[in-house]
Amino acid sequence: MKIPITILGTATAIPTAKRNHTSILIQHSGENILIDCGEGTQRQFRKARLNPCKLTRILITHWHGDHILGLPGLLQTLILNGYNKRLHIYGPKGIKDKMKKLIDLFVKQYGKLDLVVKEISDGKVFETKEFILESKSMKHGIACNSYSLIEKQKTRLDKKKIAKLKIKDKKLFGRLQQGKNIKYKGKTIKASQVTYKTIPKKITVILDTKINPNCYNIAKDSDLLICEATYLADSEKGSKLAESYKHLTAEQAGMIAKKSKSKKLILAHISQRYDKDEHLLLKEAKKQFKNTEIAKDLMKIEV
């Protein structure tokens, strides 16, 4: 099963004509998960022809304006459109108090939402039948998280082989999927002969951090790594700014992808200073990791 990902916004603190503030949507088995909600995110939903009322969860990496200032407007829109689900919001320590203040200031006058806000750092954020969502803390001067969606391995029936057997009792399918052999029309059918194991996929998002061991830990063996690349390392000034503001360079993003044995890297969180020189970020990252692309607003990917 393909996992659709829409990169709604790709800018840093200052948006540009072609880059909106940060937000990423991951869709999987009925879950619509938004990672960060920068200013203008709800409009990016409209441009991408996506319905924000299908959201089930919001993951906040950290409480900086370019990652959360879209929340008030998005929550107002959900209320005005009759959103009737329970919306789970996760983020680093302090998010409960911050969300309460945000709702009191901007949202509650429009009505009520069924919100569950949870503070998390390292470990499992939540789990479904299909995947686990994990988090690891980053280094950005304030509490900050990165996130990984990790699929569970599943046993699937080989539809072609099953069709040839002409099994009518669907209850037997469940036994085969559980790895149990069955008897049908006097013959023993081994589960291993008609089933296969899926290859689980992993998607990791690292935004706003200085280089640290958890970057490599959370990105390990990712099929797709979306990683910030705020500065160029190929200049003394860029490296100093990255260190000073606790951000990553394109070179470091490439290093993380390489050392973590990720399969694909997408550079995000692109500074306005490189608006006309984005190719330099891409070139620098590719020196470390060849399978790299640079994110664009409304970019759609399937993993």
The CA-based angle 284-218-196, given to 5 degrees, is: 110
Residue 194 has a pLDDT of: 78
User: Residue 185's pLDDT is what?
Assistant: 74
- Is 66 one of the annotated active-site residues of the chain? yes
Identify the active-site residue in 66, 169, 221, 234: 66
Phi, psi angle pair for 148, to nearest 5°: -130, 130
Q: How many CB atoms lie within 10 A of CB 200?
A: 15
> What's the pLDDT score for residue 287?
97
Q: Which domains does the chain have, with CATH numbers?
A: 4-154+198-302 (3.60.15.10), 156-196 (no CATH)
Q: What is the pLDDT of residue 188?
A: 81
SS3 145: strand
Q: Are 226 and 266 in contact (CB under 8 A)?
A: yes
pLDDT digits (tens, 9 = 90+) for 72-115: 999 999 999 999 999 999 999 999 999 999 999 999 999 999 99
What's the pLDDT score for residue 190?
78
Amino acid at 68: I
Mean pLDDT, each 10-residue run in order, the chain (303 residues)? 96 96 97 98 98 98 98 97 97 97 95 96 96 98 98 84 72 74 77 82 98 98 98 84 95 98 98 94 98 98 97
Chain position carrying tokens 């020196």: 287
What is the token pair recorded at 279? Answer: 């190719």
86-91 and 57-59 strand pairing: parallel
What per-residue confidence (pLDDT) applies to 164?
Answer: 74
Q: Is the alpha carbon torsion for 233, 302, 120, 9 positive or negative?
A: positive
